[in-house]
Structure 1
Amino acid sequence: MDERDQLLSQWCENLLAAFELEESRVDINAVLALAGKAAHAVVRPAAPLTTFVAGYAAGLAAASGQASEEVAMRSALALATRQCDAAGAGS
């Protein structure tokens, strides 16, 4: 793991602890890939917006019992990725 990956991993752990979500797992690479797709398919500021909305949707799905945390996050990331792909195809 390089220095950047270590820094991101530690930052993610710090955020999870701050929100009392230590048991949660975040696929940092998947989130970063989604951000990259959004930035290129729409505009750069779409990256944080897209990842926020995907995370929010996953949280709501998991909290309502609609899906497990892992399935909710994977589904939200996949749906947002498809939206980015569609937006990029329309450019």
Structure 2
Amino acid sequence: MHDEHDERDHMNVLAEWTALVCKELGIDPEKIDRDAVLDLTRDVAHGVARPAAPLTAYLLGLAEGAGTAPPQAAERLSALAGNWGQATAETLGDR
């Protein structure tokens, strides 16, 4: 059963956790697009594999921090995840 109250509690916990992690890591929470990250991890978890979701978020964070992430990186990765079978065939075909 889906309870709207539980969902609000979940979002409050998520907001509190995000604020705590940002403080611990010295990140401005205003620079975090939580919805984009959550959308990306959902798309990767469903399109590729569940363990690929946190790894992808971490890799995106590394690229963002290094300044090497392409424009609209999260959206591009979501598209790759949605087209995982074809992307894999093309990548492996390049070898």
Normalised by the length of structure 2, the TM-score is: 0.70
Instruction: Show CA shifts across 1:2-47 (max 9, x none).
Output: 1111111111111111011135521212111111110111111011
Query: C-alpha distance in 2, partners of 1:14/1:22?
Result: 11
* TM-fit CA distance, 1:89: 5.7
CA RMSD of aligned residues (A): 2.6
Q: Percent identity, aligned pairs only?
A: 28
Aligned length: 82
* TM-fit CA distance, 1:90: 6.3
Runs of 5+ in structure 1 lacking a partner? 67-71
Which of residues 59, 81, 93 in structure 2 aligns to 1:84?
Answer: 81
Alignment of 1:48-67 (within 5 A): 48-61=54-67
Runs of 5+ in structure 2 lacking a partner? 1-6, 89-95
- One-letter amino acid matched to 1:84: A
- One-letter amino acid matched to 1:12: T
Q: Does 1:40 align with 2:37?
A: no
Which entry has the higher C-alpha Rg, 1 or 2? 2
